[in-house]
Amino acid sequence: MIVSLLWHIGHRNEAGADRATLHTDGDSVFISERDGDDAKLLGVYSSHAKAEERMREASLLPGFADEPECFVIDDYVLDEDEWTDGFESDGPSTRVTPPPSSPR
């Protein structure tokens, strides 16, 4: 089964010419979370068409309407590994929001 993840990238980076915000890189939406871009997962849908329908609806909402070209739909096969190797850290990261508090 294939599922479609709908993302929106809110751009805050300075990766373009003269430190301008870069929205796209060729045919792809650019993202640099390290430079402040904010990836939002809007939902996981049972078809690409349903994700496209939600994208059209969301593109009219505040915030999303400011960057309507910055939606991404990624299709994945359910129960199939996407990342099969380890990774190396790029260095220290900064936490933007505090971790959730422990239940009492």
47 neighbors 28 (Cβ within 8 angstroms) = no
Taking only the tens place, the pLDDT of each residue in 36-46 is: 778 899 999 99
67 neighbors 10 (Cβ within 8 angstroms) = yes
Tokens at residue 1, please?
A: 């089964």
CA 90 to chain centre: 19
Name the phi and psi angles at 46, rounded to 5. Answer: -75, -10
Q: Is the pTM of this model over 0.75?
A: no
- Quick count: other Cβ atoms within 10 Å of Cβ 40? 13
Measured distance CA(14)–CA(21) in Å, rounded = 5
Taking only the tens place, the pLDDT of each residue in 53-101 is: 999 999 999 999 988 988 999 999 999 998 889 888 765 554 444 555 5
